[in-house]
Amino acid sequence: MSNHVSCTISEGIAHVRLNRPDKLNALTLDILEDLVSTARELLRDKTLRAVVVSGEGDAFCAGLDFASVMRDPAGVAKAFIPRPLRGTNTFQEAPWAFRRIPVPVIAAVHGHCLGGGLQIALAADFRIATPDSRWSVLEGKWGLIPDMSGIQALKELVGIDRAKLLTMTA
């Protein structure tokens, strides 16, 4: 695991922290892989009672760090390849793996919760946010499809009709 994702367990409560505060916890390919492996480790822990996902510093997660990710075109291409067991790619599996954990997963959101960060928060069972948190998915403005499983989670959380309404209003 990189030093940009930490996981500590105390009294059955796992604390998963994005730890890249200088970049508002923006996601890199390594962080996405670390989130997948962390969720898989937690899935195997039978003593676990809950998981809290949070971000260090001023933000929960500012989304994908495009500058960092685009420096590795081969890594991006590999990250889009579906994994054989689940059929999800790395971008999708990073949030979706937390949905498979059989205990409550809580996203503790503060500051920016953007793009991929929002999709990670949507994968949690509960989202607790500070009043000053800022949530947004900007992919639609750029002609991109937000495909990290957040749209599927949003549809399940609020229903397809409300999800479409929410994605169409600015």
What CATH number does the domain containing 132 carry?
A: 3.90.226.10
Phi, psi for residue 113 in degrees, rounded to 5: -135, 85
Residue 2 has pLDDT above 70, yes or no: no
Number of domains in the chain: 1
Angle, helix 150-158 to helix 160-168, in steps of 10 degrees = 120
Rg (CA), the chain: 15
Greatest Cα-to-Cα distance within the chain, rounded to the nearest angstrom: 45
- Determine the pLDDT at residue 113: 95
Greater pLDDT, 55 or 66 = 55
pTM: 0.86
Q: In 10 A of CB 20, how many CB atoms?
A: 25
C-beta of residue 146 within 8 angstroms of C-beta of residue 119: yes
pLDDT digits (tens, 9 = 90+) for 94-143: 999 999 999 999 999 999 999 899 999 999 999 999 999 998 877 667 66
Domain extent for 52: 5-168
**Type of residue at 127:** R
- Determine the pLDDT at residue 149: 65
Least confident of 16-20, 80-84, 108-112, 126-130: 80-84
Mean pLDDT, residues 133-161 taken together: 72
Cα 76 to the chain's mean position, in Å?
A: 17
Least confident of 17-26, 59-68, 153-162: 153-162
Mean pLDDT, residues 21-37 taken together: 96
